[in-house]
Chain A
Amino acid sequence: MKADMNLHAAAENATAVEAVHWEPPMAPLDMPRQQLESDREVTGLFTRLFGAWRHA
């Protein structure tokens, strides 16, 4: 059981090493989250429309 776990850990480490080795270069870019809807819209027409229909 212990040996199995060690093997599993070794495989995970190898994966981690590979992953870092293969990853694209770090060059962060700011990406501001966009506004697409206001909270009021969600609980407004849409929910009323489909909510009512679904529970009819």
Chain B
Amino acid sequence: MGDDAKMAVTRLYRGLAIGFALLAATIATIMLTDAALEDGTDVWDIARSVLIFLTTAWLAWGASLSLVGLMPRRRRAEPAMMMPQPRCIVLVPICNEDPVATFARIAAMDHSIQAAGVAADIAVLSDTRDEDAASGERNAFAHLLDETAGQGRIFYRRRQDNRGRKAGNIEDFIRNSGAAYELAVILDADSLMEGQAIRRMIAEMQADPDLGLLQTLPKITGATSVFGRAMQFSASFFSPVFARGLARLQGTTGPFWGHNAIIRTRAFAESCALPPLAGKPPFGGHILSHDYVEAALLARAGWSVRVDETIDGSYEEGPENILSFAKRDRRWCQGNLQHIRLLTAPGLRAWSRFVFVQGIFAYLVSLVWGLFLIASVAGAVFAPAPDYFPDTYQLFPVFPSDQTQQIIALGIGVVGLLVLPKLSILIESAMTRRAVGFGGSLKAAGSVLVELLLSSLLAPVMLMYQSRAVLQVLMGRDGGWPANQRGEGRLTIGQGIAAGFWITLFGAAALTATWWIAPGLLIWLLPVAVPMLLAPLLIALTSRVGISGLFQTPEEAAPSPVIRHYRAIHDRWTRDDNGPEDAIPVPPALGAIA
């Protein structure tokens, strides 16, 4: 298929997705307006109509991503890596990470890369500020070199000035060493990639000289808590379909998620040196969500940016509890809202601007939902009393028509937009036999059902954290760049109360106020208010190990070689308390394959 034909198909998908979202939003708005206008029009009715349009459009847009992605890709021959291999380096930017886990991952990847017949250097790019942590990194790096015989091909450098955070860290490497490498694989500290995946990515870059960046879809591994395993299941079961939909809509403009991707060094160098934004954080200063911007800049410079969810062997770890998730989300929120400043950046492709708008709205929508609830309660409070005798000479009273059925239908429609994508993906997995990896269709259906219930229960809590984050950013509070919390995330009830009691109070206040001023609406508010009341419990209980029979993923049932190898190395290194001298001997395969 030629470039023009591909673009025409991309435009068709975009038209269908946008059309579906607008249609669903329009129908919801008409239904609500129809019901609300029964007792006359006031400002709250207009507000509700606008807000339901925005929220439904957003929900339908999410659903359209999955619908567009349902159809499998057309089979094509995977390109083979051509010789001579391009010079390639794997970049691992780190900042205050657990050095043992980080360097054990690198040891496992180095082994896998060499086993796949790929010649690639590895560079650990440290932005760690704490001297003790940096000392730990140096020890672990020396251990890594011993283990892999990696001297001269595995590098470690620590910046003295961590300007620009992660984006600045990568930029610093490319400025100083970029000319030595044609391609660079960008990872996170918690990333793991199979050598075969990197080989495939190199081959794809060789096959398409216009490709500036190729993103893979990382699967989450290593989760143990209820929350973590639910996310792990979602990422493995739903995300491939969503990513395929995204790929079809984005075409050659993205996405880039900041890690588990390969870049053409020259393309990145000529188009991705990000300037700090004028003014102070949260809206000024360094660009936090740099990946979206880098994808937009590559596209602006004429390079293709693609995501390919079919590349297996790409992994990352995820947050193990709601608090870790909310902390990361706070940073993403500030980063995405910062993109308001970039909407009018010169020369960007229209779709790149649209992607910025999506990212911004992904956070603003929490406030919109909150405003909708407030407007609904206010609308009921300020509604005029029914007029049973509107005409002067009227014998029989006119009762206002009951709009409950219409509102219920609207509610079912909104819930349908939430459930439809997941159910359609469940059907797709059964038809393509993809469900086998998730324990079979029945077990996958059970996991989807529990995931739906869990995400519905957690949605109001997430909505509160997200709304708080948005308000903090809009009020000018900089969240900074806190280190990621990885690994063990079990929280006590006390920690749950400390972190979530404000949500309980908010839910209780909302329920009391509604009961006082509009008791008829109480039942409608319960699905939102009850999870708020239970927030501390939900935070603590979902951080614990549980639901072992459900949420099975192929990666959990049969971990790939690089994951198994990483765990073995990590176990050995953590058993070895006395440093490299007393290390348990390295398996002969490690470092022996050159």
Q: Measuring CB to CB, which residues of chain A are less than 8 angstroms from any residue of chain B?
A: 15, 18-19, 22-39, 41-42, 46-47, 50, 53-54
Contacts and interface: CB of A to CB of B under 8 A. Distances in A.
B461 to A, nearest CB: 26
B490 interface: no
A29 B121 contact: no
Contacts of A42: 277-279, 284, 341
Interface in B53-106: 89
Contact of B345 (A18, A30, A37, A50): A37
A49 to B, nearest CB: 9
Interface string B264-289: 01100111111101110001100000
29 contacts: A22-B155, A22-B156, A23-B155, A23-B157, A25-B177, A26-B176, A27-B176, A27-B180, A28-B177, A28-B179, A29-B177, A29-B179, A29-B269, A30-B270, A31-B272, A31-B273, A32-B273, A33-B273, A34-B273, A34-B274, A35-B275, A36-B293, A36-B346, A42-B284, A46-B283, A46-B341, A50-B474, A50-B476, A54-B476
Contacts of A50: 283, 474, 476
B269 A31 contact: yes
Interface stretch (B167-175, B230-238, B524-532, B548-556): B167-175
Contact of A34 (B158, B174, B271): B271
Interface centre among A19, A32, A34 (most CB of B within 10 A): A34
A45 to B, nearest CB: 9
Nearest to A25: B180
A25 to B, nearest CB: 5
Contacts of B157: 19, 22-24
Contacts, number: 101
Contacts of B155: 22-24
Contact of A30 (B89, B269, B342): B269
Contacts of A27: 176-181
Contacts of B181: 27
Contacts of B578: none
A18 B126 CA distance: 14
A36 B176 contact: no
A24 B175 contact: no
B138 interface: yes
Nearest to B296: A36
Contacts of B293: 36
A31 B121 CA distance: 22
A34 B158 CA distance: 25
Interface in B470-485: 474-476
B430 interface: no
Contact of B474 (A18, A39, A53): A53
Given A22-B157, A35-B346, A29 B174 contact: yes
A46 B173 CA distance: 33
A35 B278 CA distance: 12
A38 B344 CA distance: 9
Interface string B172-209: 01111111110000000000000000000000000000
B119 to A, nearest CB: 15
B212 to A, nearest CB: 14
A27 B266 CA distance: 13
Given A36-B341, A36-B346, A41-B341, 10 more contacts: A22-B155, A22-B156, A24-B176, A26-B177, A29-B266, A36-B275, A36-B342, A37-B342, A37-B345, A41-B344
A39 B279 CA distance: 10
A36 B345 contact: yes
A24 B341 contact: no
Contacts of B476: 50, 54
Nearest to A32: B273
Contacts of B141: 22
A50 B157 CA distance: 40
Contacts of A26: 176-177
Nearest to A44: B344
Contacts of A29: 174-175, 177-179, 265-266, 269
B275 A33 contact: yes
Interface centre among B173, B180, B284 (most CB of A within 10 A): B180
Contacts of A30: 269-270
Interface string B328-362: 00000000000011101110000000000000000
Given A24-B177, A31-B171, A37 B138 contact: no
Nearest to B277: A37
Contacts of A35: 275, 345-346
B138 A18 contact: yes
Interface string B389-430: 000000000000000000000000000000000000000000
Contacts of B278: 37, 39, 42
B138 A15 contact: yes
B297 interface: yes
A32 B269 CA distance: 7
A28 B340 CA distance: 33
B300 to A, nearest CB: 9
Contacts of B340: 46
Contact of A32 (B173, B270, B283, B341): B270
Nearest to B160: A19
Contacts of B176: 24, 26-28
A52 B346 CA distance: 26
A47 B455 CA distance: 37
